[in-house]
Amino acid sequence: MNASVNAEPIPRPRKGRGIVTAIGIALVLLAAMALDTKVVKIGSEADLGNDGFSAERFGAEQFPIVRANVEERTVEASKLAAAIAEDQTAAGERYGVPSGIGPVIPLSFSGVVGEGKAGIYTVDVEGVPEDLTIRVQTGPAINGTDLRDATGDIQFGQFTNQIEYQNAAAAINAEMKQQVLADIDTSDLTGKTIAVTGVFQLINPHNWLVTPVRLDVQ
């Protein structure tokens, strides 16, 4: 005897309904992420973070330290020129701080300002050899890393990368410009007498490019 079984079909999930559910879940997740996301403007205090590197803050903190160190160790230009003429290596070791291809040396001098180009002026300083050219940079662009390297206390290992290290130098230069040069008409120094304390990197013994930490127009 044959028996027939009436089996009810098993319902299958609708494909469309599954897609709609998945989209709904994704939208809910995106909304939650948006509520938990903070928009941070690049360069803002929030972008720097509590422990992030701020070049501007670093420059403001370090320039007074650099200036005090340079002023404490400064050597009068005529004395320094004589020492370099006698033994450049020994003079660099005695008065300077090692830095790349030449030591960074602090010095002070006064003299009459000569012709300038792009904010760099020659200065006629008494007591130095005639074949020595002393120049001082007054901006608007202050170039180089001499201020950063002047003390020997600021090292590459303190920074995350080379960009931060370079930004540190630029920030100290900018702070010097603000504190030392902002109130001086550096576009019209020719013929005036100035007193300078600053630093230069000893590469060419006959040509010193000085970055000031103090500059007074007399």
**Segment 138-156, tens digit of pLDDT:** 999 999 999 999 999 999 9
- Which pLDDT does position 35 carry in this prediction? 55
Q: What is the pLDDT of residues 73-96, one digit of tens each?
A: 999 999 999 999 999 999 999 999
Q: CA torsion 112→118→119→123, rounded to 10°?
A: -20
> What are the structural domain ranges in the chain?
52-217
Q: What is the pLDDT of residues 37-50, one digit of tens each?
A: 444 343 444 444 44
- Read off the pLDDT of each residue in 185-207 and give the average, rounded to a whole number: 96
Mean model confidence pLDDT for the chain: 86
**Which pLDDT band, with edges at 50, 70 and 90, does 21 fall under?**
low
How far apart CA 73 and CA 124 sit, in angstroms, is 23
Question: Residue 115's pLDDT band (boundaries 50, 70, 90)?
Answer: very high
Residue 119 phi, psi (nearest 5) = 80, 5
Q: State yes or no: pLDDT of 61 exceeds 90.
A: yes
pTM above 0.85, yes or no: no
CATH architecture of 52-217: Beta Barrel (2.40)
